[in-house]
């Protein structure tokens, strides 16, 4: 609507139209003044511009402009003879005007011309670059993405100084007008992937984009999928490694995470530290993570299934130990397991939502005091609590997969409780099919395991040395089906 | 395009064969292994004919093949019920209702698996085949230590001919082979030969340890492969045979899902107007077939259908070719 509304040559008309559109919003500052003998208007949004920069770079030079014959000549003089800022877009319609003003630009209008000039003097408050909270790394960079898209772009550019790194800025969200930056390595990424992503983004008719979760469904294949075919990272170094592998990424203004397309299941088990240590230790760490995933998902279910239906799997000592422990417990083993798991999830949720100072204390009090009291009172058996704690601990190794692990753990527990190992087997089939049906733009989520790509196993089953890795010249296109 | 690779195709069919061999009843001897291998050779020759003809185009042929797959799927459910009597499944013991409930649960999971499409099914088949290989490794590992080599016998009571037919009755997956071959993105003949070679290897790998482990008590064993799994305990104080149950349930689901997907594809070709609930109709038909026929085998019917299919196809094409020539 606003896109088609051109600026008027008359300054009065522009002012009245601006007031009409914004409802005379308090934060829109309209400064009328005379410049070069012409009535001008300098528009900005309060709190979005740096007043010091504006005073130095805009106000002082504008005040010293000699008289010009008309508005067009004034604009031409400013545009061609003065370098007021590095970012100087032309403004011809109200849509562009509002987008720029609300992005921290100052826009200059003059009476007698329908052309405006924008000056980038952004100065809104931003969070300084800090360590990523969710992706810990021992030996890598300690810089993480922040909420400002342009800062994130610079973090990326500092690490990839190649001209092949392309960053396309676009605006999405009918109301929020959020800046989204599509990043990719021109020489590595499949062209079709980029065109498909752009087409998906064009299909997006959202009003606002407030987190990565708003965009990701549009980049994934529709249908019920447990796992995400797109990934996120808050580490610029991780994103660089993905871009080098021929993936595309989206940086969203206001979100300290980048969305990576496509994402593979095996990448959830890879961290930057894997490449900092010796390959032998990295392989050990990686297999610890694979085992942790299996323990996190299956341990409580196996425990319940074995104790309830398949005690022959246990040796006599272990069996007697479990029988003794469970005999003391007043609740059935299924109820006990569900209770403990749900209790853990509640405590975790409370720990996350509460203020950090209180959240930590809640976790300690809940975990130690309630857990200890539950065991001492005999409400929960010690072996079951141990199994649940091990399972939960396994899930914490892979924070990225935590939502899926939580759901699968409960689902497997219920299926194991109803049908024993047979039930676990059936659910495993359904989950396996679900994972294998996950793909985005023709990139299967389970690659390189299935479809099996032997070349990909060097960084999946093991972690080969850097000398071998540098000669691989891998791009994700190898996995495309 | 729902194109699948040759290894994925082979994995899908081998899981089907793995399941059929788990459910194998009756005595196993060297003659059985030889008969099964010869049966595979015959099937390979027949399938080479199917491969040479290319895709299935005639509607009636698709309908017949669909019916055949439903029959095999029904027999598979029947085998599952009978085998589950010796593999502990909770609630299975509670009579017909329990069996139906188990059938319904497997049917529901298979329905979901089939509805995800052949690509997802074939991708997951490769991983599932990996778990099957792991369980086989456990059996073989144990067979090496517990093997009784004197069990390698070929009793006179078993003729080679009867064992060939017995092997062919377990080869219902050939219907799916014919139906899905056109989806494979490799040369069909090479794909077929790779599959039959792998099938022959699987047969030897499964039956030889079975014979070595259960040979002494073969006459009183209903399901020799299951018994071999129960006897194969690689650890001194830890039983692992219940884990074989996982391989059994996974292969059962994949077998049902494969048959459903293949039959639904044929049903679509034979009756294009039948658009909705094809997978559900196929699964329901399989369970009804299993209930109707029970565990009675259909050796001759199945073999006859297998043998007749390429012959009928050749006849149909010749007939169509002659009509076209007479018109011109």
Q: Write out A430-461 in H/E/C secondary structure.
A: HHHHHHHCCEECCEECCCCCCCCCHHHHHHCC
DSSP B155: -
What torsion, rounded to 10 degrees, do the Cα atoms B89, A293, A232, A479 define? Answer: -70
CA distance A383 to chain B (A): 19
Mean pLDDT of chain A: 90
Residues A392/A371, Cβ–Cβ less than 8 Å: no
| Residue B321 confidence (pLDDT) above 90 | no
The predicted pLDDT at position A117 comes to 94
Cis peptide before A93 (omega within 30 of 0): no
Residues of B whose CB is below 8 A from A418 = 90
Average pLDDT score over residue span A114-124: 91
The predicted pLDDT at position B300 comes to 44
What's the pLDDT tens digit per position in B270-285? 888 887 889 999 999 9
Q: Which residue has the higher pLDDT, A432 or A359?
A: A432
Pairing of strands A231-233, A443-444: unpaired
The predicted pLDDT at position B324 comes to 61
Q: ∠ CA B169-B170-B174 to the nearest 5 degrees?
A: 95
Residues of A whose CB is below 8 A from B89 = 419-420, 422
| Helix (H) or strand (E) segment spanning residue A34 | strand A28-35
Euclidean distance between CA atoms A434 and B123, whole angstroms: 11
Euclidean distance between CA atoms A256 and A269, whole angstroms: 22
Residues B10/B123, Cβ–Cβ less than 8 Å: no
Site from B249, B257, B279 to mutate, A interface, most A CB atoms within 10 angstroms: B249
Mean pLDDT of chain B: 81
Bridge partners, A258 (sequence order): A233, A251
Residues of B whose CB is below 8 A from A321 = none
Residues B146/B31, Cβ–Cβ less than 8 Å: no
Residues B79/B289, Cβ–Cβ less than 8 Å: no
Task: Determine contact: B154 vs chain A, CB below 8 A.
Answer: no
What are the Cα distances from residue B160, in Å, to B30, B34, B73, B154, B219?
10, 7, 27, 10, 18
CA quadruple B85, B86, B92, B95: dihedral positive or negative?
A: positive
Contact A425 B253 (CB under 8 A): yes
CB pairs under 8 A between A and B: 106
Query: pLDDT over 90 for what percent of chain B?
Result: 26
Least confident stretch, A68-82, A162-176, B54-68, B104-118: B54-68
User: What pLDDT band is residue A91 in, cutting at 50, 70 and 90?
Assistant: very high
Q: ∠ CA A209-A211-A214 to the nearest 5 degrees?
A: 60
Least confident stretch, A226-240, A378-392, B222-236: B222-236
* In chain A, where the domains are located: 2-120, 149-274, 277-437
For B111, which residue in chain A has the nearest alpha carbon? A430
| Residue A243 confidence (pLDDT) above 70 | yes
Euclidean distance between CA atoms B53 and A234, whole angstroms: 55
If we measure between CA atoms, which residue out of A293, A307, A296, A325 comes closest to residue A420? Answer: A307
Contacts of A30 (CB under 8 A, 6+ apart): A15, A18, A41, A42, A43
The predicted pLDDT at position A135 comes to 85
Average pLDDT score over residue span A139-143: 89
Burial class of residue B247 (count of CB atoms within 10 Å of its CB; 0-12, 13-18, 19+): buried
pTM (two decimals):
0.88
Helix, strand or coil, per DSSP, at residue B226: helix
Least confident stretch, A372-376, B115-119, B207-211: A372-376
The predicted pLDDT at position B317 comes to 57
Average pLDDT score over residue span B113-136: 90
Contacts of A146 (CB under 8 A, 6+ apart): A126, A127, A128, A129, A130, A152, A256
Burial class of residue A116 (count of CB atoms within 10 Å of its CB; 0-12, 13-18, 19+): buried
Residues of A whose CB is below 8 A from B249 = 421-422, 425-426, 429
CA quadruple B165, B167, B172, B175: dihedral positive or negative?
A: negative
| Residue B178 confidence (pLDDT) above 90 | no
Site from A422, A424, A445, A456 to mutate, B interface, most B CB atoms within 10 angstroms: A422
The predicted pLDDT at position B150 comes to 82
Asked whether the ipTM of the predicted complex exceeds the cut of 0.90, the reply is: no
Burial class of residue A151 (count of CB atoms within 10 Å of its CB; 0-12, 13-18, 19+): middle
Other CB atoms within 10 A of residue B150 CB: 9
Residues A402/A394, Cβ–Cβ less than 8 Å: no
Euclidean distance between CA atoms B164 and B27, whole angstroms: 14
Contact A436 B123 (CB under 8 A): yes
């Amino acid at each position: 609507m606003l896109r088609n509304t051109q600026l008027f040559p008359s300054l009065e008309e522009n002012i009245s139209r601006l007031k009409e559109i914004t409802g005379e919003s308090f934060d829109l500052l309209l400064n009328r003044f005379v410049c070069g003998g012409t009535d001008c208007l300098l528009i900005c949004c309060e709190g979005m511009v740096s007043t010091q920069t504006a005073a130095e770079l805009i106000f002082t030079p504008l005040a010293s402009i000699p008289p010009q014959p008309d508005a067009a000549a004034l604009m031409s003089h400013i545009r061609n003879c003065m370098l007021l800022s590095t970012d100087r877009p032309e403004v011809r319609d109200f849509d562009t005007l509002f987008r720029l003003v609300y992005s921290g630009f100052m826009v200059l209008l003059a009476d007698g011309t329908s052309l405006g000039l924008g000056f980038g003097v952004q100065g809104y408050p931003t969070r300084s670059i800090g360590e990523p909270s969710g992706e810990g790394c021992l030996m890598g960079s300690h810089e993480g993405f922040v909420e400002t898209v342009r800062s994130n772009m610079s973090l990326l550019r500092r690490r990839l100084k190649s001209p092949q790194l392309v960053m396309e800025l676009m605006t999405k969200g009918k109301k929020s007008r959020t800046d989204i930056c599509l990043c990719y390595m021109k020489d590595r990424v499949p062209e079709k992937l980029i065109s498909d992503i752009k087409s998906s983004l064009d299909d997006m008719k959202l009003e606002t984009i407030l987190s990565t979760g708003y965009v990701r469904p549009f980049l994934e294949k529709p249908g019920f999928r447990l796992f995400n075919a797109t990934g996120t990272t808050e580490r610029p170094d991780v994103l660089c490694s993905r871009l080098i592998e021929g993936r595309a990424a989206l940086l969203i203004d206001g979100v300290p995470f980048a969305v990576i397309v496509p994402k593979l299941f095996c990448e959830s088990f890879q961290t930057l530290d894997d490449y900092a240590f010796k390959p032998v230790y990295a392989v050990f760490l990686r297999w610890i993570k694979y085992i942790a995933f299996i323990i996190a998902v299956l341990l409580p279910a196996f425990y319940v299934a074995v104790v309830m239906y398949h005690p022959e799997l246990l040796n006599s000592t272990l069996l007697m130990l479990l029988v003794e422990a469970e005999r003391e417990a007043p609740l059935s083993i299924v109820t006990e397991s569900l209770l403990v798991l749900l209790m853990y999830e509640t405590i975790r949720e409370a720990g996350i939502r509460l203020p950090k100072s209180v959240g930590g204390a809640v976790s300690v009090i809940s975990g130690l005091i309630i857990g200890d009291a539950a065991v001492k009172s005999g409400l929960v058996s010690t072996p079951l609590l141990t199994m649940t704690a091990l399972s939960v601990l396994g899930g914490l190794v892979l924070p990225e997969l935590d939502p899926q692990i939580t759901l699968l753990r409960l689902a497997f527990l219920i299926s194991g409780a109803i049908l024993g190992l047979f039930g676990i087997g059936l659910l495993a089939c359904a989950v396996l099919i679900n994972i294998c049906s996950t793909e985005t733009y023709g990139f299967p989520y389970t690659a390189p395991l299935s479809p099996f790509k032997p070349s990909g196993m060097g960084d999946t089953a093991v972690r080969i040395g850097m000398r071998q890795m540098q000669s691989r010249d891998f791009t994700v296109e190898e996995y495309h089906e | 395009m729902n194109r699948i690779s040759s290894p994925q195709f082979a994995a899908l069919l081998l899981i089907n064969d793995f399941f059929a061999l788990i459910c194998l009843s009756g005595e196993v001897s060297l003659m059985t292994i030889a008969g099964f291998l010869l049966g595979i050779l015959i099937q390979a020759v027949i399938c080479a004919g199917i491969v040479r003809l290319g895709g299935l185009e005639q509607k009636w042929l698709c309908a017949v093949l669909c019916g055949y797959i439903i029959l095999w799927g029904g027999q598979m459910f029947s085998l599952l019920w009978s085998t589950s009597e010796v593999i502990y499944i909770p609630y299975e013991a509670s009579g017909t209702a329990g069996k139906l409930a188990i059938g319904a649960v497997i049917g529901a999971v298979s329905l979901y698996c089939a509805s995800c499409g052949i690509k997802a099914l074939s991708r997951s088949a490769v991983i599932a085949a990996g778990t099957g290989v792991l369980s086989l490794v456990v059996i073989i590992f144990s067979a090496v230590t517990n093997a009784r080599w004197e069990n390698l016998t070929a009793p006179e009571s078993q003729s080679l001919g009867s064992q060939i037919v017995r092997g062919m009755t377990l080869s219902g997956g050939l219907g799916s082979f014919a139906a899905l071959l056109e989806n494979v993105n490799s040369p069909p003949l090479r794909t077929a030969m790779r599959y039959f070679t792998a099938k022959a290897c699987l047969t030897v790998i499964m039956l030889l340890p079975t014979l070595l482990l259960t040979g002494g008590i073969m006459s009183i064993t209903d399901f020799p492969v299951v018994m071999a799994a129960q006897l194969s305990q690689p650890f001194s104080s830890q039983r692992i045979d219940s884990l074989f149950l996982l391989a059994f349930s996974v292969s059962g689901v994949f077998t049902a899902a494969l048959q459903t997907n293949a039959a639904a594809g044929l049903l679509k070709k034979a009756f294009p107007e039948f658009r909705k609930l094809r997978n559900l109709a196929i699964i329901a038909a399989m369970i009804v077939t299993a209930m109707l026929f029970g565990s009675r085998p259909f050796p001759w019917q199945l073999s006859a259908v297998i043998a007749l299919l390429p012959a009928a196809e050749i006849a149909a094409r010749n007939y169509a070719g002659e009509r076209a020539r007479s018109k011109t």
